[in-house]
């Protein structure tokens, strides 16, 4: 994320493409899988965990002392990336093909910029900081397998 004349812009479009080929899913099932992937990402993030299930790094002292943080009634743990809730609410299905689904944020949106800052650990700085990164946008093979098994069982 880069600050330019007071405007925050992302340097990367934050999205993930999930290969669903080989699972024998119909179009409706792919829609449901995509929705459940988003739900899983949001729920896991709400628990303060990244895409690998590891705890997010803590909030910085300056952020915890900010007016936004105090107004939102945040406490500091868990780090859930939900100051306003807008970023995670903006996570959506971007594309669905016969072989895959893509979920992420609308390109160029403010919420994509927020996600970019969290995922890469930039927070308005030009250089990413892996120690501050909170890479929440993803799903493990185990999580995907459980979702697909659940969707197929609904037939």
% of the chain residues with pLDDT over 90? 63
Strands (DSSP E) contained in 24-128 are: 92-96, 100-104
The residue among 78 and 1 whose pLDDT is bigger is 78
Alpha-carbon distance 22 to 43, whole Å? 27
Q: Is the pLDDT of residue 1 over 70?
A: no
pLDDT confidence of residue 141: 95
**Domain limits for position 10:** 2-153
Q: What are phi and psi of 56, to 5 degrees?
A: -70, 150
Beta bridge partners of 100: 19
Q: Is the pLDDT of residue 4 over 60?
A: no
Range 58-75 average pLDDT: 77
Overall domain count for the chain:
1
State if pTM tops 0.75.
yes
Alpha-carbon distance 119 to 18, whole Å? 18
For 64-78, 108-122, 136-150, which range has the lowest pLDDT when averaged over its residues?
A: 64-78
pLDDT confidence of residue 92: 97
- Three-class secondary structure of residue 84 per DSSP: coil
The residue among 1 and 81 whose pLDDT is bigger is 81
* DSSP conformation class of 12: S
Distances (CA, A) of 10 to 21, 79, 123, 134: 31, 21, 10, 15
pLDDT confidence of residue 33: 97
Q: Is the pLDDT of residue 136 over 80?
A: yes
Alpha-carbon distance 134 to 51, whole Å? 9
Among candidate residues 37, 34, 35, the one with its CA nearest the CA of residue 143: 37
């Amino acid at each position: 994320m880069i600050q330019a004349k007071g405007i925050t812009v992302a340097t990367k479009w934050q999205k993930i493409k999930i290969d669903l080929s080989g699972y024998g899913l119909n179009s409706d099932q792919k829609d449901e899988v995509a929705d459940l992937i988003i739900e899983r990402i949001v729920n896991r993030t709400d628990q303060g965990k990244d895409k690998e299930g590891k705890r997010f790094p803590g909030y910085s002292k300056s952020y915890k002392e900010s007016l936004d943080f105090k107004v939102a009634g945040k406490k500091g743990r868990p780090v859930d990336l939900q100051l306003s809730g807008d970023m995670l609410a903006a996570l959506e299905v971007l594309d669905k093909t016969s072989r895959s689904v893509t979920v992420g944020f609308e390109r160029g949106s403010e919420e994509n910029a927020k996600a970019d800052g969290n995922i890469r650990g930039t927070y308005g700085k030009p250089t990413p900081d892996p120690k501050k990164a909170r890479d929440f946008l993803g799903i493990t093979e185990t999580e995907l397998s459980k979702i697909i098994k659940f969707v197929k069982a609904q037939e």
